Structures are given as C-alpha cells and as structure tokens.
C-alpha cells in the first residue's frame, strides 16, 4: 500500500500507519469475517492502492490504545495479553491476535474504540463473529476454555457536557467514556462451523477473477438509510431535534411546517458509506465502478 502525506505531516505519522499492517498465515480472522471482495482486492492490488495518512488516523489511534493497554497488562498475574495465534482451519493457516484473556473467570476481552453514534446501534454482527472466532483459537492453541466475552469500548467523542445536557432532556447518553458490551459465547461447534464456512468462502474467492468476486452486501457497504431531515436555517449541518429520521417526505414536511417558517426539509438519499468514504479498493472494484458510482 502506498501511503501518501498530502498535509506534509511528520514522517512518524506515515511510519506509524505503515506499521499497523502485517500479514501472518493464509488469512487473519479479521479478513475472514469481512467481505472476500475487499480482502481479495486488497491482497492482489496492495502495491497499487493509495491511501493518505490522514485517512488512517483512526487506525493509528486504535493501535496506540491497544499498545498502551498491552504494556499495562503485561505482567498481570493470570492474564494473557495481545498474543498472536496461528491455527489450522480446513487445511489453511488462520492467524489472530486477541487483546486479553483472564484465566480466573475464563474471560476473553476485546478493546475497541468507537463513536457514540456507532455505539447507539445494535452490537455489530462482525464483533460477535470476530470474538467468537478468537475463542476458537484460544481453545485450540492455548487449550483454555472461554466462558465469557466482553468488548470494552472507548467512546472517542464522549463528552461530559453532552451527558449533562442529555440528562436534562431525558435522552439516553452513555454514563462514561468506556462501556462494557457483553457478547454471547457461541457453543464450540457453532463457532468452528462458522469459521470453517468463512475459510471455504474465502478459499473459493481466491480462484476468482476480480470482476467475478461476490458483490459486497448492503451491510458490507454500510449503506445508510434514505432519509428526509428537517433543519433550521441557516444551520444545514445538523438536523433539529426529532427531525433527523423521516423515511417519508410528507411527514418531514408536516414536521417542518409545525416547527416554523425558518425550517426546511432536505432529502439525504441512502449511500454506500464504506465505498464512497472508506474503501480504498474502489479503483479496482467493478461493483463500485458499474453499480455504486458509475462514470457519467
């Protein structure tokens, strides 16, 4: 991957971004739980993909957080931190690195960082798949049971003033900048079956031409809702309270009328957020170039 530096930041930022990429084994658990189109295009075109360092800041932030917590947990008794494991699934080498395992309560923990808006939704399916796949590796290689899984998430944009304001309005807002999210532990067979199916899928895709790779689903593409939002002029950045989630334009118009003459409705059509703003594979992706954003 070519990392550009359009803001001419210190070289250390670029090096930090580069250090966060490493391939071990045939596929990592993180790749396996994700769409094969993304991982195949990434592997095949790695040398041609260009990403600016500024777009990698959030992964540098995540790496920094993990490194601090790894060091802090290094000599804790009965705790295994950030250990890389490689194990075989369907004859392929799968690698993983879990964050923390506590022997006493057979507890696997994963650290994440997330925005409040992401936390307010349901627990991400990929988090359940990722941690339960880690549990497979821990049972197989470390020969230890996993009875509990928790994700400890740092909410990057949490603010005390927002908490106070939300309490006054009676809105829900997390009480602290770190939240604990319990994850259901799948039974061993179910977790192993899931991982075997993902390995089979990715192995089949390895044989396919770029243009024949299975298309990314709406979930994979982080497709946003087709919405009509109500704004108070001149602030067209943030919808007014209660006016951000209309799926019907007539209801949005009625709400705006009720709010007063300085209120307007703006249509925010659904979009493939990941493709448009985050996925560096779009240059090589026929799904993107023919369906999501075809040239005029």
Q: Provide the binding-site residues for ligand SF4, judged by CB under 6 A.
A: 35, 37-38, 41, 216, 220-221, 272, 274-275, 279, 281-282, 285, 287-288
- Closer residue to ligand SF4 (CB): 85 or 279: 279
Which CB sits closer to ligand SF4, 45 or 139? 45
Q: How far is the CB of 37 from ligand SF4 (least distance, A)?
A: 5
Work out how close the CB of 43 gets to ligand SF4 at its nearest, in angstroms, rounded to a whole number: 12
Q: How far is the CB of 124 from ligand SF4 (least distance, A)?
A: 16
Output the smallest distance, CB 95 to ligand SF4, in A.
22
Phi then psi for 219, rounded to 5 degrees?
-65, -45
Find where tokens 């990403």 sit: 51
**Region for residue 28 given its phi and psi (left: phi exceeds 0; alpha: psi -120 to 50; beta: otherwise):** beta
- In angstroms, give the least distance from the CB of 218 to ligand SF4: 10
Measured between alpha carbons, how far is 201 from 36 in angstroms, rounded to an integer? Answer: 8
Is the CB of 115 or the CB of 277 nearer to ligand SF4?
A: 277
Judging by beta carbons within 10 Å of its beta carbon (0-12, 13-18, 19+), is residue 114 exposed, middle or buried?
buried
Q: How far apart are alpha carbons 205 and 207 in whole angstroms? A: 5
Judged by beta carbon, residue 81 or residue 272, the one nearer ligand SF4 is 272
Nearer to ligand SF4, 86 or 205 (CB): 205
Which DSSP letter does residue 223 get?
B
Name every residue whose Cβ is closer than 8 Å to that of residue 21 and which is 6 or more positions away in sequence. Answer: 1
Nearest of 88, 111, 75 to residue 26 by alpha carbon: 88
């Amino acid at each position: 991957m070519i990392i550009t530096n359009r803001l001419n930041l210190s070289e250390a930022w670029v090096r930090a971004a580069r250090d966060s990429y490493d391939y071990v084994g045939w596929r990592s658990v993180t790749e396996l739980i994700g769409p094969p189109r993304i991982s195949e295009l990434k592997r095949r075109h790695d040398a041609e993909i260009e990403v600016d360092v500024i777009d990698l800041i959030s992964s540098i932030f995540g790496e920094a957080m993990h490194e601090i917590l790894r060091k802090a947990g290094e000599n804790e008794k009965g705790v295994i931190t950030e250990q890389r494991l490689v194990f075989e699934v369907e004859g392929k080498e799968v690698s993983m690195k879990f964050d923390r395992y506590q022997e006493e309560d057979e507890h696997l923990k994963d650290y994440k960082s997330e925005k409040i808006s992401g936390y307010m939704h349901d627990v991400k399916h990929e988090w359940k798949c990722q941690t339960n796949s880690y549990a497979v590796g821990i049972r197989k290689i470390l020969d230890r049971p996993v009875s509990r899984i928790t994700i400890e998430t740092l909410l990057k944009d949490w603010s005390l003033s927002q908490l106070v304001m939300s309490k006054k309005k009676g809105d829900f807002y997390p009480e602290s900048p770190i939240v604990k999210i319990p994850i259901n532990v799948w039974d061993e067979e179910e977790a192993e079956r899931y991982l075997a199916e993902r390995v089979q899928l990715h192995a089949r895709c390895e044989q396919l031409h770029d243009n024949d790779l299975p298309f990314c689903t709406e979930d994979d593409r982080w497709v946003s809702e087709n919405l009509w939002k109500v704004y108070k002029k001149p602030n067209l950045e943030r919808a007014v309270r209660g006016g951000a989630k209309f799926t019907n334009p007539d209801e949005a118009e009625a709400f705006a009328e009720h709010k007063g003459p300085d209120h307007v409705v703006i249509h925010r059509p659904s979009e493939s957020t990941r493709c448009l703003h985050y996925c560096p594979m779009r240059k090589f992706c026929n799904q993107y170039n023919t369906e999501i954003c075809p040239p005029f």
